[in-house]
Structure 1
Amino acid sequence: MTFKVEKIHHVGYRCRDAKTTVDFYRGLLNMDFIAAVSEPVVPTSKQPCPYFHLFFDAGMGNVLAFFDIAGIEMDPPKMDGPMWARHIALQVRDVAALEEAKAKLVDAGVSVGGPTDHNMFTSIYFSDPDGNRVELTAPAVDEPEKMARLLAVADDMLEEWTRTNKVPPRHAAWIHEKEFEGLDL
């Protein structure tokens, strides 16, 4: 029997303060706070490290988790490259829900970018109180058909990206044609 990943169990991030994180994700994004675990030591290493692990329902069995770790200062999220490349994307029902979410975030003083039309879905972008990049998306009605179009060219695009030493292949340029209208790409 060959194993296959069935779904994301959870995605984990750090946070500075569990209460602030709950207030943000439950209060502004309407996500259910579903569980918490707290220990004085790390179960895998048995090293002393008091932590509070909190979990949110991200819908359809997906879970977003955070660690508030006592005594270890948290630097802003770090990575090589631009901040937009590392993020969590959460889906809402439709564009009306996306617009409602944006208004709620803006009213709470959160800086929100977008909406951006990705053809298959529309997104807004913002950071949580700890600087973690969050994307909210609303699917297009014809998303399954568009995903099939992307699947049909994915291997060809990968081959071209590799062969040309990372020159962006244009097989799926139709995805952002509205956003890039007037630009010479």
Structure 2
Amino acid sequence: MKIVKIHHVAYRCHDAKQTVDFYKSLLDMDLIGAIAEDRVPSTKEPDPYMHIFLDAGAGNILAFFELPNSPPMERDPNTPDWVQHIALEVANMEALEEARARLQAAGVEVLGPTDHTLFQSIYFRDPNGHRLELAAPSGTPGQVKRMHEVAHKMLEDWARDRKPPRHMAWLHDKEFTAR
């Protein structure tokens, strides 16, 4: 078996309409579907929900569930705030800067751009508190190839002693990059 693509990724939201409005007005993602039922199809549990689907481009779908009868959403207190996020790619730095300006004009707090060598990113939160990243590619084909070539070795080294291997230190350590 070979996975063809991610069909959709789903998160929870406070308010489906507010979520659709945010993603449409600030990220130009269209609502492409909505499903609402009183019972969960897979478990048959009574739990009314609204399930919305947004077009994230190139066949990618970002989905959300509004669950009015469930307790309020909470973060996993054992996972750092920066870890769980949704990263979306934009075409280039011009598009990234345009997105940053649009978000800031709407009163959204934006962090970045952050230079990851292979891409530049900005970070912000949607109305549900989900951390979002917009990334613009900035690496060369050679840099991307270099990352791919060391990926398995890095994973083996990490699994052995749980210490960060330095094979990719050149991404963020400019002094290391110069060597």
1:73-112 → structure 2 map (5 Å cutoff) = 73-78=71-76, 80-112=78-110
Q: Counterparts of 2:156 and 2:139 in 1: how far apart (Å)?
A: 30
How far 1:78 moved relative to its partner? Answer: 2.4
Instruction: Report the alpha carbon displacement of residue 141 of structure 1 after superposing the two structures with TM.
Output: 5.6
1:55 aligned residue: 53
- Structural RMSD (CA): 1.5
Q: Is the 8 A contact 2:111 2:122 kept in 1?
A: yes
What CA distance in whole angstroms lies between the structure 2 residues aligned with 1:31 and 1:106? Answer: 18
Quote how far apart the aligned CAs of 1:15 are.
0.2
Pick from 149, 152, 171 the counterpart of residue 149 of structure 2: 152
Contact kept? 1:102, 1:112, Cα under 8 Å: yes
Matches within 5 A, 1:125-136: 125-136=123-134
Structure 2 runs not aligned, ≥5 long:
none
Equivalent AA in structure 2 for residue 157 of structure 1: M
The CA distance in 1 between the partners of 2:100 and 2:75, in whole Å, is: 23
Give the C-alpha shift of residue 146 in structure 1.
2.1
Separation in 1, partners of 2:26, 2:35: 23
Structure 1 residue runs without a partner (length 5+): none
Where does 1:1-185 land on structure 2 (aligned, <5 Å)?
A: 3-78=1-76, 80-140=78-138, 142=140, 144-163=141-160, 165-178=161-174
Query: 1:76, 1:130 within 8 Å by CA — same for their partners in 2?
Result: no
Residues 124 and 133 of structure 2 are in contact (CA less than 8 Å); yes or no, is this contact kept in structure 1?
yes
Quote the sequence identity (%).
Answer: 54
Residue 160 of structure 1, CA deviation: 1.4
What is the distance in 1 between the residues matched to 2:125 and 2:75? 11
TM-score, with normalisation over the residues of structure 1? 0.90
Conserved in 2, the CA contact under 8 Å of 1:89 and 1:137?
Answer: yes
Please give the secondary structure, in 2, of the residue aligned with 1:85.
coil
Q: Deviations over 1:43-67 (max 9, x none)?
A: 0111111111001111111100000
How far apart are 1:145 and its partner, in Å? 2.9
> Alignment partner of 1:110: what SS?
coil
Q: Which amino acid in the other structure matches residue 151 of structure 1?
A: H
What is the letter of the counterpart of residue 46 of structure 1?
Answer: K
| Cα shift at 1:100 | 0.7
Contact 2:117 2:139 in 1 (8 A): no
Residue 37 of structure 1 aligns to which amino acid in structure 2? I
Q: Is the 8 A contact 1:41 1:47 kept in 2?
A: yes
Count of aligned positions: 176
